[in-house]
Amino acid sequence: MKEYKLREYVGLDEVHGPLIIIRNVHNVGYNEMVEVVDEQENVRLGMILEAGKGYAVVQVLGGTTGLSLNNSRIRFTEKPLLIGVSEEMLGRVFNGLGQPMDSLPAISYEDQLDVNGMAINPTARVYPKNNIETGISSIDIMNTLVRGQKLPIFSGSGLPHDMVAAQITRQARVKGESFCIIFAAMGVKYDTARFFIDSFEQSGVLERVAIFLSLADSPSIERILTPRMALTLAEHLAFKKNIHVLVIMTDMSNYCEALRELSSVRGEIPARKGYPGYLYSDLASLYERAGLIKDINGSITQIPILTMANDDITHPIPDLTGYITEGQIVQDRELNGKGIYPPIAVLPSLSRLMKDNIGKNKTREDHPSVASQLFASYARVKDVRALASIIGEEDLSEVDQMYLKFGDLFEQRFLKQDYYERRTFQEGLDLGWDILSILPQDELIRMKEEELKKYYKKNTAK
């Protein structure tokens, strides 16, 4: 398949975890791709991690099982790691290294691109300005998703983050415009991947989905490449083919663990919890590959999913992710326990791009105030509940009792919705007003006076 003239060396000097050291080699370029061939003529890809005078350190992506010192060969491609990209890749399934896994005909590639991509010049970016109606009120009304945004889902094991992502994908389709989905699975179980594939099939979009699977049983080191493969294809489709691309990456925690593993065999100085000091820069090199570019009609929207170890949002992975992404959707175990789906904890959730994309001419003029008031009132509910657990509900003041009622309604009617229920912005905002209207008007100080006149209804929610 690959036809370039390659220099080939026989024999390795050291094999150590996923790393190979070879000596007496020359003219080796840093970060370039190599092919490692074992006794059975199996070819694995590798990358030059360190290049020095007369030696090179190679990271083998397919794992080092079965490599021997004397009979393995190594070929230098003198190119950075490239991936073939094509619109034909939609509807196909690939492994974590971008090789087709299905038995369909070979793909004719339109281009070969460096998987590391290049930084978008900030002056060439367009500020995202089209919101996406996901049909989920806790996202639409309180943490609006915007096309070109990177909005991760912070979740925990056992929480329905896959369902939420699948529901967003199903409901957020923009009619009439060219769209596609790229799904990258890193270290997740086959069941999870199957769930997504079934869900794509069910909503009839499978033809428009490219799937990259690096499942739990494939070498962990491969996962470092999988999201880069997916994003390189996304960039090609979005910026060359003018397609709106939604990239779902799950689970980023597994990606970071692969990175930590690699860092530790390289003997690097760890920063927090054993993760390398460059985890932030590394994650940024993935997340920043979302957005829009001037004069180009396509876009990349990212929904990375990550499970937080012990539900700890201060763990380095969610922490650094939150510092890079434009907000986060946080799932909550307590809500899940109450049977509320989607269990989105609205208070710690955030959409940074929401401010410029809601309100008059975008959604509805009262949207900013409704969102702000719901946040403020629900935050108060948390305080009142804490107080009620100490002094009892009966001893609460009248207003506080109203807050308790508001809180229950908010969770049961506003947050809770069916897996197949699709609420418009309009419906979500009206529902917000219904629920807010059980609070006295004086409590709604985030609302503008004219909005209160127009929308405030007394006791419509029961």
Partner 1 sequence: MPELAGKIFRINGPVVEIEDISSIRMFDMVKVGEQALIGEVVKLSEGRAFIQVYEDTTSLKAGDPVYTEGVALYVELGPGLLANIYDGIQRPLEEIQKKEGFFIRRGISVPALDRNKKWDFHPLSQQGQQIKEGQIIGEINETLLIKHKIMIPPGINGTLKWIIPEGNYSIDEKIAIVEQNNSETEIFMYQRWPVRKRRPYKEKIPVREPLITGQRVIDTLFPVAKGGCVAVPGPFGAGKTVVQHQLAKWSNAEIVIFIGCGERGNEMTDVLLSFPKLIDPHTKRPLLERTVLIANTSNMPVAAREASIYTGITIAEYYRDMGYNVALMADSTSRWAEALRELSGRLEEMPLEEGFPAYLSARLAEFYERAGKVNTLSGNTGSVSVVASVSPPGGDFSEPVTSHTKRFIRCFWALDKDLAYSRHFPSISWIDSYSEYVDDLKEWWHQNIDHSWFELRGVIMDLLGREQRLLQVVKLVGPDVLPQSQKLILEICSIFKNAFLQQSAFDETDEFSSARKQFLMLKSIIYFYRKCEDIIKKGISIEDVRNLPVYQDIIRMRSRYSEDNLSELENLTNKIDQDIKNWELK
Stretch that binds partner 1, among 38-46, 95-103, 177-185, 290-298 (CB under 8 A): 290-298
Which range, of 9-17, 92-100, 104-112, 313-321, touches partner 1 by CB under 8 A? 313-321
List the x/- string, 34-63, binding to partner 1 by CB under 8 A.
----------------xxxxx---------
Is residue 289 a contact point for partner 1 (CB under 8 A)? Answer: yes
Report residue 224 CA to chain centroid gap.
15
Of 63 and 348, nearer to partner 1 (C-beta) is: 348
What lies within 8 Å, CB to CB, of 18 at 6+ separation is 59, 60, 61, 63, 64, 219, 221, 261, 262, 265
Q: Could you say whether residue 272 binds partner 1 (CB under 8 A)?
A: yes
Footprint of partner 1 on 368-397 (CB under 8 A): 368, 371-372, 375-376, 379-380, 386-387, 390-391, 395-397
Q: Taking the CA of residue 191 as centre, how many other CA atoms within 13 Å lie in the half-sphere pointing to its CB?
A: 1
Neighbours of 200 (CB within 10 A): 21
Tell me, by CB under 8 A, how many residues bind partner 1: 82
Q: Judged by CB under 8 A, does residue 119 bind partner 1? A: yes
The reply on whether position 120 binds partner 1 by CB under 8 A is yes
* Measured distance CA(110)–CA(88) in Å, rounded: 9
- Report if residue 125 touches partner 1, rule: CB under 8 A: yes
Peptide bond into 251 cis (omega under 30): yes
Contacting residue, 174, 270, 334, 393, with partner 1 by CB under 8 A: 270
Q: Which two tokens stand for residue 60?
A: 């083998």
10 Å CB burial of residue 194 (0-12, 13-18, 19+) is exposed
CB 280 within 8 A of CB 324: yes
**223 vs 289 by CB, closer to partner 1:** 289
Q: What are the C-alpha distances in Å from 99 to residues 95, 150, 161, 253?
A: 5, 26, 28, 23
Q: Is 80 in the site for partner 1 (CB under 8 A)?
A: yes
Q: Spell out, one character per residue from 220 to 259, where the chain touches partner 1: x when CB under 8 A holds, - when not.
A: -------------------x--------------------
Q: How far is the CB of 351 from partner 1 (least distance, A)?
A: 10
Give CA–CA dist 12/10, Å, rounded. Answer: 7
Instruction: Determine the interface stretch with partner 1 among 315-323, 336-344, 411-419, 421-429 (rule: CB under 8 A).
Output: 315-323
Nearest residue (CB) to partner 1, 199 versus 357: 357
List 5, 294, 458, 462, residue binding partner 1 (CB under 8 A): 294
361 touches partner 1 (CB under 8 A): no
Q: Applying CB under 8 A, does 323 fall inside the site for partner 1?
A: yes
Does 332 sit near partner 1 (CB under 8 A)?
no
Distances (CA, A) of 380 to 26, 219, 400, 402: 67, 48, 9, 11
Query: Per CB under 8 A, does 445 bind partner 1?
Result: yes
Alpha carbon distance 143, 139 (integer Å): 5
Determine the interface stretch with partner 1 among 184-192, 364-372, 402-410, 431-439 (rule: CB under 8 A): 364-372
Does 442 sit near partner 1 (CB under 8 A)? yes
Pairwise CA distance, residues 134 & 130, whole Å: 12
Q: Does 116 bind partner 1 (CB under 8 A)?
A: yes
d(CA 153, CA 147): 16
* Sites for partner 1 among residues 164-223 (CB under 8 A): none
The CA distance from 318 to 314, in Å, is: 7
Residue 443 sits in the site that holds partner 1 (CB under 8 A): no
CB of 5 to partner 1, least distance (A): 17
Task: Answer yes or no: are the C-beta atoms of 329 and 349 closer than 8 Å.
Answer: yes
For partner 1, which is the closer residue by CB, 163 or 313? 313
Q: Residue holding tokens 């396509």?
A: 298
Instruction: Return d(Cα 330, Cα 351) in angstroms, integer.
Output: 11
